[in-house]
Structure 1
């Protein structure tokens, strides 16, 4: 896809010119510093909703959640990323800001009879509310967007249960599928430039709606198996009525133009004003690197750099040898002693929650906050860029859809052949990373060739979620795969399961927060946090024995 984020100001100017270039000046004599909510065109709101959601999802799956699922580790300012030291710092303010704009979009679209924008609004509302329910559990939903000073009851909205939110968004996605089912020519008011995902294509948005519904039916599969099976089979067996994202060029993805810090790839070194430290401190995790190497996975070369100076531990060297020669660092065994080192000549990742000084890993001669380590792989040079053909917010992919259908087939549900969907998922992922030519060899690799197990399937889905690792976290919680273990200095001896309710919300809406907390279940790892712990279980995980 060649969709491009623009700044909200740029879009406002562009679309305003398109919409109003033929009007008299008298018609434009309005307040230049604000937009009247009762008159705003939906196309003026849409770019902000899409760009902010895309950036939010990338920031989750490329930062702390990538640390949780062991795609990456940081070797400076690492406590939140590596060790899950979140301390109630997560806020859903940005999520509800997006939802308020989405509600305005839907209100204006309904008033002006713009069915396309109503359908898109429902998809985005479902997407963001689904994330809130996934990350926190129970949350304001039915009353969330009604607050105003004239109706104080909605200023402290009740919390809907996680189950009710999931059911609510599935109903909204069904409505969206219907709204988006007409030919493009039958819709009014579409401005392709305002649609950063699909350039105003209703059919593409319809595929997104139904693919997102698959995600949430599968999410519910352990708690409401019959309901989930019926929903997935309804979609899978009626492709004309419920089209899906099935090829990489149909992915819900969004490129970064990279012209300002607000629309550039996160942690780049072209616009980033930290001297490149945000890029340097984010390194590959050994868990992912080792898995990719074992499978001879071509995506490793796309995502990571080779180590600058490999380590060579040579027992034939005299004691106290430590020298660099021919681009390698040679060490006698006594210089390594009991220190764990990785002598792979190509790619080295940092083990999860390795130590309280992760920058020292692999005998880094200059440990510290500067994050220079010649013996560990940096991310690929493309991630230094502010923009690029592979630097996308990836909200939902064809790979994910095929993995869901494969998993459903393993359950005995009527979704087609599991092996065929598994293969198609891997093919779609390789295609998305411009590695389509590697598919035939890779799919026959030992360990990749489908063995019919859920563990293999979810592990491949985990790999395919690079830079969009949030869904991998949710799959781990639901299935226990991949078999990830917390590192030695992590805050707990297990991976976290949810976000904390933030203190501001507890202070302002204490009664409803407490009701939500009472519905959580503590685990052996909740410890002093009590109910409001990242290691407590929300409804979705209760009584499932997963992931622990």
Structure 2
């Protein structure tokens, strides 16, 4: 793997970064003033506040180290991006015995945890300890939203995590159950939303600085931050619908209540983190373009090819391998073993970096949430007969598709009325052993007469296509719903621990936590209610 290195931008960011690079540190770093910054440093030109906020924004998907996205590669790309069916690496890391073949590598499993605490929470806690929560409530609201965004991804990877007592004086930080973490997320979103509404209606004093220059997402627009907060609440509510249906409905209806500020309804409100500043790059693009370490997954290629999806050329480039005709060609997860070299598969389809007007470049903003996803969430709310969905299921489902098409500059044509096309089977032109029949018979056109299972599969399949390339949420939705139906791993090297049919459900707790917070990890495993491995389901992951 490439060497993880650090570049600094501002003094505070540099101090936080130094903590982020130290893999042997534990929770004591969150409880100490290890930045060397005093409360007075948060006055003056306010650049220090901005440093923490931009740090937290960049760290949701970590591209904060100024040019080397190795952190993101381990944080998300070599797990969720591939487990979601979106991607697969052509690189036979560790002779093919790695996370993509369910041989989980300890050194890979800790990066999401590390980034969550040493980058996201450390930045937000530093703002709180210096009084930003009381001095500038609207700024604090954005910090809380960023924390919930970042840490929801962490808990959805591991399950129980330290949360409520991070930032206290304790050196051994206990883990909270995932149920308690989610309940705390909703309370934090309550606080953030209240403060943003107060800012919008003029109840708070104007900020003594321009927040826009610190905002890599919405350029200081409080209304858009509020709509994103409501959309995030809706997403998290839907995560828990099977295990806590009453709480899920309550939180979803609160998110959808127009009196609370609304949700994202157009692509101008998409939550995307801008890539600004010398040395910063979109990490997914960097890995695909500079390292050739990631290519399109077989599952997403099979669905989009079978559906003749007009977005396919916006998402992918065609293959460049001269041993077979140029086409959209994915790689099946777990198929890259020690018998192949990286160069054997780098000519398969990559992100659209060259075709027509490329959709991706090194400065493409990093996507976290889109209006299309929100329309599909609303469609599911309508399917469950919840209040405030704002339309019937079919209308919202179709709006999710057309909004995604608009986002990518694709023309829907007859896509919405196609009731015959189904996902394609998969053919690997270099190894027939990787071939597989179509994973599903689900079609595109909405059908009110379909079974409940077919309705859910159709909705989630189109939602999954629309969320590309954001693999973390796509993996969560696959685990929550079972959809879309993904090709199973070709080589399963878990030693029988992880089922190829059920597929991987989580990552184990980091080895560093066992080394430095071992007693609390043992308690966390009891909260997990299963062994600390990739087969144990999370709290919300109910069969």
TM range (shorter): 0.7 to 0.9
The answer to whether the 8 A contact 2:50-2:214 is kept is yes
Measured in 2, the distance between the counterparts of 1:110 and 1:412 equals 40
Against the structure 1 CA distance between its residues 506 and 10, is the aligned structure 2 distance closer, same or farther, given a 3 Å change threshold? closer
Partner of 1:114: 136
Tell me whether 1:516 sits opposite 2:489 in the alignment.
Answer: no
Does the Cα contact within 8 Å between 2:127 and 2:133 map onto a contact in 1? no
CA distance, structure 2, for counterparts of residue 403 and residue 11 of structure 1: 42
The 1:224/1:511 distance shift into structure 2, 3 A limit, reads same
Report the CA distance shift for 1:267/1:43 in structure 2 as closer, same or farther (over 3 A). Answer: closer
**1:310–1:450 CA distance, 2 compared to 1 (3 A):** farther
1:458 to 448, 457, 460: 460
Query: In terms of Rg, which structure is larger?
Result: 1
- SS across alignment from 1:539: coil
Q: Is it true that 1:303 corresponds to 2:320 in the alignment?
A: no
What is the aligned partner in structure 2 of residue 256 from structure 1? Answer: 275
Q: Gapped runs of 5+ residues in structure 2?
A: 1-6, 14-34, 64-70, 420-442, 449-454
Equivalent in the alignment of 2:105: 87
Name the counterpart of 2:484: 482
Question: What TM-score do you get using the length of structure 2 for normalisation?
Answer: 0.76
Which structure 1 residue ranges, 5 or more long, are not aligned?
1-6, 14-32, 148-153, 313-327, 329-344, 360-367, 523-530
Aligned equivalents of 1:107, 1:215: Cα separation in 2:
29
Deviation at 1:250, TM superposition (A): 0.2
Contact 1:252–1:396 under 8 Å retained in 2: yes
Note the C-alpha offset of 1:419: 1.2
Q: Provide closer, same or farther for how the CA distance between residues 372 and 353 of structure 1 changes in structure 2, counting only shifts above 3 A.
A: closer
TM, length-normalised to structure 1? 0.76
In 2 relative to 1, CA 203–111 (structure 1 residues): closer, same or farther, beyond 3 Å? closer
Check 1:54–1:385 CA distance in 2 against 1; reply closer, same or farther (3 A cut): farther
Which SS does the other structure have where 1:540 is aligned?
Answer: coil
CA distance, structure 2, for counterparts of residue 255 and residue 468 of structure 1: 15
**How far apart are residue 532 of structure 1 and its match?**
1.0
**Which residue of structure 2 lines up, in the alignment, with residue 265 of structure 1?**
282
Q: Choose from 143, 158, 181 the match for 2:174.
A: 158
Shift in alpha-carbon separation, 1:509–1:234, aligned structure 2, 3 A: same
Q: Are 1:442 and 2:415 counterparts?
A: yes
Q: How far is 1:62 from its partner?
A: 4.3
**Superposed counterparts of 1:266-285, under 5 Å:** 266=283, 268=285, 278-279=291-292, 281-285=293-297
| Counterpart-to-counterpart distance in 1, 2:372 and 2:363 | 16
CA RMSD of aligned residues (A): 3.0
CA distance in 2, matches of 1:534, 1:443: 37
The 5-angstrom pairing of residues 115-154 of structure 1 reads 115-147=137-169, 154=170
Q: For 2:272, what is the secondary structure of its paired residue?
A: strand
Deviations 1:456-491 (A, max 9, x none): 111111112222111111111111111224223023
Give the direction of change, closer, same or farther, for the CA distance of 1:390–1:287 in structure 2 (3 Å limit). farther
> Is residue 2:216 matched to residue 1:200?
no
**1:324-473, aligned counterparts within 5 Å?**
346-357=327-338, 359=340, 368-371=341-344, 374=347, 376-382=348-354, 388=361, 391-414=364-387, 415=389, 416-435=391-410, 438-446=411-419, 447-452=443-448, 453-473=455-475
How far, CA to CA, are the matches of 2:536 and 2:133 in structure 1? 43
CA distance in 1: counterparts of 2:164 and 2:12, whole angstroms:
30
Measure the CA separation in 1 of the matches of 2:401 and 2:349: 25
> Which residue number in structure 1 is paired with residue 183 of structure 2?
167
Conserved in 2, the CA contact under 8 Å of 1:8 and 1:47? no
Q: CA deviation at 1:256?
A: 2.1
Cα distance change on mapping 1:402 and 1:390 into 2, 3 Å? farther
| Cα distance in 2 between the residues matched to 1:200 and 1:109 | 20
Identify if the C-alpha distance between structure 1 residues 411 and 354 changes in structure 2 by more than 3 Å, giving closer, same or farther.
same
2:537 counterpart of 1:537? yes
Structure 2 CA distance, aligned partners of 1:58 and 1:410? 35
| Aligned residue in 1 for 2:428 | none
Deviation at 1:110, TM superposition (A): 3.7
Decide whether aligned partners of structure 1 residues 358 and 188 sit closer, same or farther in structure 2, where only a CA change above 3 A counts. farther
Q: Report matched runs for 1:214-225 at 5 Å.
A: 214-225=234-245
Deviation at 1:245, TM superposition (A): 0.9
Q: 2:45 aligned with 1:35, yes or no?
A: no
* Paired residue secondary structure (2:50): helix
Tell me if the contact between 1:430 and 1:439 (Cα under 8 Å) persists in the aligned partners: yes
Determine helix, strand or coil for the equivalent of 1:55.
Answer: coil
Q: Relative to 1, partners in 2 of residues 1:109 and 1:50: Cα closer, same or farther, differing over 3 Å?
A: farther
| 1:291 aligned residue | 303
